[in-house]
């Protein structure tokens, strides 16, 4: 908890530490009431720095009891050191010495889920970013890299499995009935990569032979009831290991790689060296309980954490401002992996859509920050979509500038030059620059300027000279602390399409897509030998994280929807058309007019369903209307209820007018085959289920069809689709089916944590779930305020997806959210500050809602004992 004014940390103040730690030997005595930790640290003066005399060794540490401390085996009397709630400062009289520190911690009472804590009956850790300081006093910063050993002493009956990083090197039974094991990690690492797990866990074994022929034991640990949910994660892991060898030349470096699934986890997963710890919802799956979406998410996250072994662990971050060095790069790596394993254009659509829908609002809001932030109060608040997803787009732009082979040369140089080091985004860019002899000087602005650039494009065709020009203007709206911006280097991929829908050759080589290097506020690009007036296809494949403005007519968008050769832009043309039409309906709704749908959308959808040659995955994407969030992002002022009504009207109208086509498509894809999470089958199910959602909107037969599918499905994808369709359908019959389905679902799966999360979330987002129902569910056995997955499933989904009830006129939804934030502020500050997000965007809403949200932020601000996490977000939102 904060002092009066939490301190802001600045990148410009970075300094190397006064001391290094070369070796860290930890001993844990795990007990039921408390755990005692002994840390033996080999400390060495940092001679890169000038010292007039030997400075004190100032270690980080919070929330623990110091039992004793000694230097070179001489106990220090408490009069000799100084202790605050955040630091232990020790006197030093030699350039090298051994510090031994004994602390007592209470994992059982640790609800923040940072440091060492309990999840059900096991012990586990989460140390990134600054959790290690809750385990022992330490130099808790990523540029201090030590070799670690971990000794664990515990009751073997309660904790038959005792794990830490590296290799097991000793295992003995002690006289007092306890067992002692010792793990040793041969690689130097910062303490944020430390991990410990102890519990009664089952293990599923596998192995991988590396390309140089070494055998790696793969082990997935989980509670015994989940051993049938491990296969997919292990398969994904082996695919990721192989892919990283082939695409990046990166081989795994230990003889053992372990994954542990835990039910209580603040984020998705953590890349601790040799011992990844996962939120169980991001690793466990079987067809009866996991949806296709879950299968794909597991594949991506298992790969992501594995890839960190090189991009994050072998080469790590100098300080936390460099977080995107490992996260942006690793998200880019996992996205490319997923693209190779599944459909590349569809993966690109999903990622770009996610960025535009979720990160653009962050970049335009009160917590907007650069990919490499310049300051923070609480680093946990910077595990953001900007650092992760926009960071990945920045790496992708470098990839596109230097090309595939150039990128590999750059990454090879980066890994070899910096192996074993803690470095910066600047080091990464430099390696890319030097390996390719390119100039990324202007490009670096992507790391330091926040906000989403807007690119305005206008064109001119000079028929007499067969010359076509594109004029590109960029600007970036002001963001907190950055009123004025300088131009970005934007790789802007364009194609030109003729009247028949064919790509026109743009240069002598006949290339049909060119990447324009946009570097100035305004630039004009000329294309010669253009035989007719073209229609431009802009920022193909989402070549930069920008907003593109070009005055397409609705007819031109329809044309692009069926003709653009770029898969992403073909999809985006449909999105633009639908957004334009929904926004028009929002205006009609607000003016009290009868809603009238532009028939062209019906025509466009009809030709998708009947005439198109698209594969099933693409077709599904094209049939999905832009989300309410994306429409909101495109509106100047957000009227959430009007957006909901307008979009709903479009869905219903399409459902009725294209009933026959949806039914034909549904039948053709309702093949009832045995479940397999292959890209092809996933696409077929997704197409079938989007058709089902339209059919259910059309009439009672559709509702019967959903009910039938709910009861007869042989996999959770189909069953859950049917359930959520029913849960959101209006008829009395549908309400009744939904109720029956929810009751039987709970009956059957109440002991399965992942299923209960699904059960909570489908209700939380339900059109007919009001605030009172949410409050009832909070009292249900299924809910637990100390479990982040359940908080996200119920409260998070309500606040982010249930637009109708969360945004109700009296502001009760906002007050409810603020109440929960205040409870979590004490239990789990990280969760509390994340949950706040929807009301921090109050300036974007209509005046009435904006004022109600602001009122709740002010109420939170008045609370005594605000965590740094919540304080930072609320104070920035009110500025």
Residues that bind Zn ion (CB under 5 A): 327, 330
Ramachandran angles phi, psi of 519, nearest 5°:
-130, -10
Kindly state the smallest distance separating residue 336's Cβ from Zn ion, in Å.
15
35/330 with CB nearer Zn ion: 330
Kindly state the smallest distance separating residue 163's Cβ from Zn ion, in Å.
21
Is the distance from CB of 720 to CB of 288 less than 8 angstroms? Answer: no
330/833 with CB nearer Zn ion: 330
Which residue, among 500, 608, 603, has the nearest Cα to 555 in the 3D structure? Answer: 603
Kindly state the smallest distance separating residue 326's Cβ from Zn ion, in Å.
6
Kindly state the smallest distance separating residue 192's Cβ from Zn ion, in Å.
12
The single residue of 305, 433, 634, 757 carrying the catalytic annotation is 305
Is the distance from CB of 186 to CB of 198 less than 8 angstroms? Answer: no
Compute how many other C-beta atoms are within 10 angstroms of the C-beta atom of residue 417.
15
Tell me whether residue 855 is one of the annotated catalytic residues. Answer: no
β-bridge partners, 153 = 29, 180
Q: CA 58, CA 91: separation in Å to the nearest integer?
A: 9
Kindly state the smallest distance separating residue 324's Cβ from Zn ion, in Å.
10
Q: At what angle do helices 700-712 and 679-698 cross, to 10 degrees?
A: 140
- CA dihedral over 694, 700, 705, 711, signed as positive or negative: positive
Compute how many other C-beta atoms are within 10 angstroms of the C-beta atom of residue 625.
20
Residue 606: alpha-carbon gap to chain centroid:
35
Q: At what angle do helices 323-341 and 344-354 cross, to 10 degrees?
A: 140
Ramachandran angles phi, psi of 451, nearest 5°:
95, 155
Q: CA 131, CA 114: separation in Å to the nearest integer?
A: 5
Q: CA 121, CA 223: separation in Å to the nearest integer?
A: 10
327/681 with CB nearer Zn ion: 327
Which residues lie closer than 8 Å to 714 by C-beta, 6 or more apart? 287, 672, 674, 675
34/415 with CB nearer Zn ion: 415
Is the distance from CB of 504 to CB of 470 less than 8 angstroms? Answer: no
369/570 with CB nearer Zn ion: 369
How far is it between the farthest Cα atoms of the chain? Answer: 96
237/734 with CB nearer Zn ion: 237
Within 13 Å of residue 173, how many CA atoms lie on the same side as its CB?
5
Residue 140: alpha-carbon gap to chain centroid:
24
Looking at 65-214, which runs of residues are DSSP E strands? 65-71, 74-75, 82-83, 87-90, 96-105, 115-119, 122-126, 146-154, 161-164, 167-173, 179-189, 196-199, 202-209
391/545 with CB nearer Zn ion: 391
Q: CA 16, CA 449: separation in Å to the nearest integer?
A: 25
β-bridge partners, 181 = 152, 171
165/589 with CB nearer Zn ion: 165
262/764 with CB nearer Zn ion: 262
3-state secondary structure of 145: coil
- Structure tokens that stand for 166 in this block: 């590296």
For 458, the enclosing helix (H) or strand (E) is strand 454-462
327/564 with CB nearer Zn ion: 327
Torsion of CA 842, 846, 847, 852, to 10 degrees: -50
- Structure tokens that stand for 34 in this block: 């408390």
DSSP string, 289-327: T--HHHHHHHHHHHHHHHHTTTBTTTBEESSGGGHHHHH
280/642 with CB nearer Zn ion: 280
β-bridge partners, 37 = 28, 103
301/585 with CB nearer Zn ion: 301
Torsion of CA 257, 261, 264, 270, to 10 degrees: 30
Place of tokens 């109720």: 739
Which residues lie closer than 8 Å to 159 by C-beta, 6 or more apart? 30, 122, 123, 198, 199, 200
Kindly state the smallest distance separating residue 190's Cβ from Zn ion, in Å.
14
For 220, the enclosing helix (H) or strand (E) is strand 215-222
Kindly state the smallest distance separating residue 269's Cβ from Zn ion, in Å.
8
Kindly state the smallest distance separating residue 270's Cβ from Zn ion, in Å.
8
286/326 with CB nearer Zn ion: 326
Q: Write the secondary structure of 325-367 as one string of H (helix), E (strand) and C (coil).
A: HHHHHHHHHHHHHHHHHCCHHHHHHHHHHHHHHHHHHHHCCCC
Q: CA 849, CA 639: separation in Å to the nearest integer?
A: 9
| Active-site residue list | 305
């Amino acid at each position: 908890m904060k002092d009066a004014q939490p301190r802001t940390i600045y990148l410009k103040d970075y300094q190397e530490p006064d001391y290094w730690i070369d070796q860290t030997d930890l001993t844990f005595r795990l007990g039921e009431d408390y755990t005692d930790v002994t840390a033996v640290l080999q400390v060495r003066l940092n001679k890169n720095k000038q010292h007039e005399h030997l400075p004190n060794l100032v270690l980080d540490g919070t929330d623990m009891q110091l039992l004793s401390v000694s230097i070179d085996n001489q106990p220090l009397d408490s009069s000799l050191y100084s202790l605050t709630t955040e630091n232990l400062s020790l006197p030093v009289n030699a350039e090298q010495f051994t510090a031994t520190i004994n602390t007592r911690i209470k994992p059982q009472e640790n609800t923040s889920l940072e440091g060492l804590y309990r999840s059900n009956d096991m012990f586990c850790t989460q140390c990134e970013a600054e959790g290690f300081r809750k385990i022992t006093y330490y130099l808790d910063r990523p540029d201090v890299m030590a070799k670690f050993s971990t000794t664990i002493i515990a009751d073997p009956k309660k904790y038959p499995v005792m794990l830490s990083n590296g290799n097991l090197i000793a295992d003995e039974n002690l006289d007092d009935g306890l067992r002692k094991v010792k793990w040793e990690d041969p690689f130097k690492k910062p303490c944020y990569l430390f991990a410990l797990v102890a519990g009664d866990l089952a293990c599923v074994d596998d192995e991988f032979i590396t390309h140089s022929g070494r055998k790696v034991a793969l082990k997935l640990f989980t509670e015994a009831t989940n051993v049938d949910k491990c296969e997919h994660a292990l398969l994904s892991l082996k695919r990721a290991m192989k892919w990283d060898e082939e695409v990046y030349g990166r081989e795994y470096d230990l003889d053992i790689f372990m994954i542990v699934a835990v039910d209580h986890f603040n984020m998705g997963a953590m890349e601790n060296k040799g011992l990844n710890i996962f939120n169980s919802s991001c690793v466990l799956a079987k067809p009866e309980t996991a949806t296709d979406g879950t299968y794909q998410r597991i594949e991506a996250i298992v790969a992501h954490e594995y890839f960190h072994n090189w991009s994050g662990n072998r080469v790590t971050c100098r300080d936390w401002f460099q977080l995107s060095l490992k996260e942006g790069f690793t998200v880019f790596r996992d996205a490319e992996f997923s693209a190779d394993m599944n459909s590349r254009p569809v993966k690109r659509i999903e990622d770009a859509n996610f960025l535009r829908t979720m990160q653009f609002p962050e970049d335009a809001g009160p917590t907007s920050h650069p990919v490499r932030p310049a300051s923070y109060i609480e680093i946990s608040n910077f595990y953001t979509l900007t650092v992760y997803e926009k960071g990945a787009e920045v790496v992708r732009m470098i990839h596109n500038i230097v090309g595939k082979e150039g990128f590999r040369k750059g990454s090879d140089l980066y890994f070899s030059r910096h192996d074993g080091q803690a470095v910066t985004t600047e080091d990464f860019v430099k390696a890319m620059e030097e390996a390719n002899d390119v100039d990324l000087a202007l490009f670096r602005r992507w790391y330091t300027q926040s906000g989403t650039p807007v690119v305005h494009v206008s064109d001119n065709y000079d028929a007499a000279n067969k010359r076509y020009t594109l004029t590109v203007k960029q600007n970036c709206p002001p963001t907190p602390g950055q009123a004025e911006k300088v131009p970005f280097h934007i790789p802007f991929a364009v194609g030109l399409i003729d009247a028949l829908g064919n790509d026109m050759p743009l240069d002598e080589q006949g290339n049909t897509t060119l990447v324009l290097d946009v570097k100035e506020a305004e630039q004009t690009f000329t294309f010669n030998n253009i035989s007719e007036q073209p229609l431009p296809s802009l920022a193909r494949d989402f070549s930069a994280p920008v907003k593109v403005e070009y005055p397409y007519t609705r007819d031109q968008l329809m044309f692009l929807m069926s003709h653009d050769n770029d898969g992403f832009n073909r999809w985006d043309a449909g999105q633009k058309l639908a957004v334009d039409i929904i926004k028009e309906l929002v205006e009609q709704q607000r003016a009290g007019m009868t809603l009238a749908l532009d028939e062209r959308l019906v025509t466009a959808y009809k030709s998708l369903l009947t005439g198109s040659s698209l594969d099933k995955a693409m077709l599904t994407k094209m049939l999905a209307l832009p989300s309410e969030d994306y429409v909101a992002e495109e509106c100047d002022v957000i009227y959430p209820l009007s957006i909901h009504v307008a979009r709903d009207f479009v869905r219903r109208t399409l459902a009725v007018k294209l009933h026959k086509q949806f039914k034909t498509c549904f039948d053709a894809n309702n093949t009832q085959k045995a479940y397999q999470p292959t890209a092809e089958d996933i696409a077929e199910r997704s197409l079938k289920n989007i058709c089902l959602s339209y059919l259910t909107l059309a009439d009672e037969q559709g509702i019967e069809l959903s009910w039938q599918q709910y009861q007869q499905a042989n996999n959770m994808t189909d069953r859950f689709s049917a359930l959520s369709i029913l849960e959101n359908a209006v008829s009395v019959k549908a309400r009744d089916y939904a109720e029956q389905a929810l009751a039987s679902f709970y009956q059957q799966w109440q002991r399965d944590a992942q299923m209960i999360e699904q059960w909570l979330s489908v209700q939380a987002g339900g059109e007919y779930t009001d605030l009172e129902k949410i409050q009832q569910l909070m009292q249900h056995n299924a809910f637990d305020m100390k479990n982040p997955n359940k908080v996200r499933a119920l409260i998070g989904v309500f606040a982010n997806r249930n637009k109708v009830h969360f945004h109700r006129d009296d502001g009760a939804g906002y007050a409810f959210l603020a109440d929960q934030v205040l409870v979590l502020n004490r239990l789990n500050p990280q969760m509390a500050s994340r949950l706040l997000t929807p009301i921090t965007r109050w300036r974007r809403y209509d005046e009435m809602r904006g004022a109600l949200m602001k009122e709740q932020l002010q109420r939170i601000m008045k609370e005594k004992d605000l965590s740094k996490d919540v304080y930072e977000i609320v104070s920035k939102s009110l500025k």
